[in-house]
């Protein structure tokens, strides 16, 4: 018996409509089992999907900690409880990222030994499996010990999800030399260098994110979030400029018709929609964090990722990665 994926119908810029449409497609196109969690009066047509009704919604700009404490009957909190109570195999939300993390952390709890959960975000890496950026934004302030755990969990994620045998781990800094960077980066470099269980290749720089020579890029959540959004902004900007150039005149439009056939698959791989969301690692359950701009396709992909991660028993593998007795 496979447990369903709990999908927060209320979170995201295009919720509930695109979320529900994506959940429906996950059932129809991928054969997955889904429960929507939402406020019936606000949800519109649930398209025949099972619904767990709740009465509250955490808004995109609500304070994460306070909203999770106060809105105990919100879709986010209820979705996390379904996972905790063994009624769902995973939760998926495109809503308030901070509140999603707080719901998962407070309701599912941390895995033993994990100092702080982190967000892992896959980035397309042409010709290779995706590179993951970890932490992509959960923790603005980090210690070297936290970054070591991010490296461990990121490695396990890549090994589990993409079948990479010995994932190469790079530490994001501002030069290859171990003397470069902040005190946090230098101390983390020393710790990672001494670990026999990780394939640590040393520092990488911003230009090593796309394309990347490594499988896991470790950084604090502040730098990770800035880098990720810089990347998204750059891609979005270049693609919109290309479309503008193509629209210049009839000749460029005709040329665009020829090239777009080849460029669009490439562009779509680089958009957040295709990635199916990031994941919170280190909590005792699966929590997929979709992009706030998720449409139906992105939602379907996020549900697919959640189902695959559940089948792959990623939580048990992460638990085995972090040994509580080894925490510094």
Q: Can you tell me which of 30, 145, 242, 308 binds a second copy, judged by CB under 8 A?
A: 242
Q: Name the DSSP class of 32.
A: -
Instruction: For residue 218, give the nearest of 240, 193, 238 by alpha carbon.
Output: 193
Is 52 a binder of a second copy (CB under 8 A)? no
- Torsion angle of alpha carbons 233, 235, 237, 238, nearest 10°? 160
Q: In angstroms, what is the minimal distance from the CB of 256 to a second copy?
A: 7
CA gap 173, 194 in Å, rounded: 18
User: What is the rounded CA–CA span in Å between residue 184 and residue 187?
Assistant: 5
* 229 contributes a contact to a second copy by CB under 8 A: yes
Binding mask 125-144 for a second copy (x = CB under 8 A): -x----------x--xx---
Report how far apart, in Å, the C-alpha atoms of 306 and of each of 117, 219, 271, 301 are.
Answer: 17, 24, 19, 9
Q: Where are the alpha helices (H) located in 52-182, listed in sequence order?
A: 64-70, 75-84, 97-108, 144-162
Residue 194 sits in the site that holds a second copy (CB under 8 A): no
Q: Give the one residue of 110, 128, 236, 317 binding a second copy; rule: CB under 8 A.
A: 236
- Kindly identify the residues of this chain, within the stretch 246-265, that bind a second copy according to CB under 8 A: 246, 248, 251-252, 254-259, 262-263
- Which tokens sit at 175? 């030069």
Binding-site member from 145, 199, 232, 308 for a second copy (CB under 8 A): 232
Q: Considering the rule CB under 8 A, would residue 213 count as an interface residue with a second copy?
A: no
13 binds a second copy (CB under 8 A): no
8 Å CB contact between 218 and 131? no
Number of residues that bind a second copy (CB under 8 A): 55
Residues that bind a second copy (CB under 8 A): 61, 126, 137, 140-141, 172-174, 177, 180-183, 185, 205-211, 219, 221-223, 225-238, 241-242, 245-246, 248, 251-252, 254-259, 262-263, 266
């Amino acid at each position: 018996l496979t447990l369903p994926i709990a999908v927060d119908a209320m979170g995201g810029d295009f919720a509930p409509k695109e979320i529900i449409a994506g959940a429906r497609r996950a059932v129809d196109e991928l054969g997955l089992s889904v429960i929507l969690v939402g406020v019936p009066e606000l949800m519109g047509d649930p398209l025949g999907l099972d619904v767990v009704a709740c009465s509250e919604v955490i808004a995109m700009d609500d304070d994460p900690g306070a909203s999770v404490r106060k809105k105990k009957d919100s879709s986010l909190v209820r979705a996390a409880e379904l996972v905790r109570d063994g009624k769902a195999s995973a939760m998926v939300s495109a809503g308030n990222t901070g509140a999603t993390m707080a719901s998962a952390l407070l309701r599912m709890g941390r895995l033993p030994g994990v100092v702080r959960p982190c967000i892992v975000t896959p980035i397309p890496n042409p010709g290779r499996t995706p590179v993951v950026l970890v932490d992509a934004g959960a923790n603005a302030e980090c210690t070297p010990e936290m970054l070591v755990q991010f490296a461990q969990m990121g490695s396990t994620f890549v090994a589990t999800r993409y079948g990479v045998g010995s994932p190469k781990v790079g530490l994001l800094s501002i030069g290859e030399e171990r003397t470069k960077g902040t005190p946090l980066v230098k101390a983390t470099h020393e710790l990672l260098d001494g670990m026999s269980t990780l394939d640590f290749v040393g520092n990488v720089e911003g230009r090593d994110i796309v394309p990347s020579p490594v499988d896991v890029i470790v950084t604090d959540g502040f730098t990770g979030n800035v880098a990720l959004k810089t990347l998204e902004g750059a891609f979005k900007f270049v693609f919109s400029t290309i479309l503008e150039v193509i629209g210049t005149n009839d000749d460029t439009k005709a040329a665009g018709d020829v090239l777009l056939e080849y460029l669009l698959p490439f562009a779509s791989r680089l958009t957040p929609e295709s990635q199916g969301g990031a994941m919170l690692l280190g909590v005792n359950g699966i929590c997929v964090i979709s992009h706030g701009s998720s449409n139906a396709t992105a939602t379907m992909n996020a549900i697919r990722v959640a189902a695959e991660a559940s089948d792959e028993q990623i939580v048990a593998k992460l638990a085995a990665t972090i040994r509580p007795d080894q925490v510094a």
